[in-house]
Amino acid sequence: MAQKDTDLQKIKEIIEIMERNGLVEVEIKHGDDKIFLKRHVPQQPIPAAAAFARPESVVSPADVVTPESSFAKTASVPSKQEDLEEIKSPIVGTFYAKPSPDSEPYVEVGSHVEPQTLVCIIEAMKVMNEIKAETRGTIAEILVTNGQAVEYGQVLFRIKPD
């Protein structure tokens, strides 16, 4: 009985992880035990901007959305870390880490930037907007991925100042 409760708890945790990350299928094998979980998939295609949509709303409207799992949370940025500066998106658009699909990214974690260093491109209304670091330091964290939709004020990079 106690074993069963633990398993149920584990499955619940896995479902939560799936929901958080928008995963549809998960298969876990451990010895002879096997768990296969599959969540309902909508008919409509997942929009490109699913990045900041509530995973719940994209996956299934029937899913009960708990108040704390609102989009507001996903849209907001993780808490600011001490002694790191942030580069935020000044516009709404699509984030590109590199000038063309087969080029090297403008910057990577560990890259040193000057205020004039180009860190990424954000495409809005077919216009490529070059985003500069506007600070001096080392890239500590990149919070978005190539091709991701970003909103106004979204944190793109964290920089450790010199």
Partner 1 sequence: MFSGILIANRGEIALRIIRACHELGIKAVAVYSEADKGAPYLQLADEAVCIGPASCAESYLNIPHIISTAEITDAEAIHPGYGFLAENINFAQICEDCGLTFIGPPVEAMRLLGDKVEARKLAQKARVPVVPGSEGAIENGSEALKLANKIGYPVMIKAAAGGGGRGMRVAHNDISFSSALSAARAEAEVAFGDDSVYLEKYIVEPRHVEVQVMADQAGNVLHFYERDCSIQRRHQKMIEESPCPVLKERTREELCKAAIRLIKEANYVNAATVEFLLDKDKKFYFIEANTRIQVEHPVTEMVTGYDLIKWQIEVAAGRKFDFSQRDIKHTGVAIECRINAEDPAKDFAPCPGTITRYIPPGGPGVRVDTHVHQGWEVSKSYDSMIAKVIVHQKSRAEAIATMKRALREFVIEPIKTTIPACLDIMSHNLYVKNKIDTGFVERNF
Question: Which residues make up the interface to partner 1 (CB under 8 A)?
Answer: 44, 47-49, 52-54, 57-58, 65, 67, 70-72, 75-76, 91-94, 124-125, 149, 151-154
Nearer to partner 1, 76 or 81 (CB): 76
Query: Which CA distances in Å does 67 have to 21, 48, 56, 79, 155?
Result: 17, 24, 12, 19, 24
Q: DSSP string spanning 43-106?
A: SSPPPGGGGGS-HHHHH-TTSPPPGGG-HHHHHSPPPPPTT-EEEE-SSSEEEESSSSTTSPPS
Residue 133, amino acid: A
- Minimum Å distance from CB 94 to partner 1? 6
Nearer to partner 1, 94 or 117 (CB): 94
Nearer to partner 1, 8 or 65 (CB): 65
Nearer to partner 1, 88 or 136 (CB): 88
- Minimum Å distance from CB 96 to partner 1? 13
- Minimum Å distance from CB 148 to partner 1? 9
- Minimum Å distance from CB 112 to partner 1? 30
For residue 126, how many other CB atoms are within 10 A of its CB?
Answer: 5
Total residue length of the chain: 162
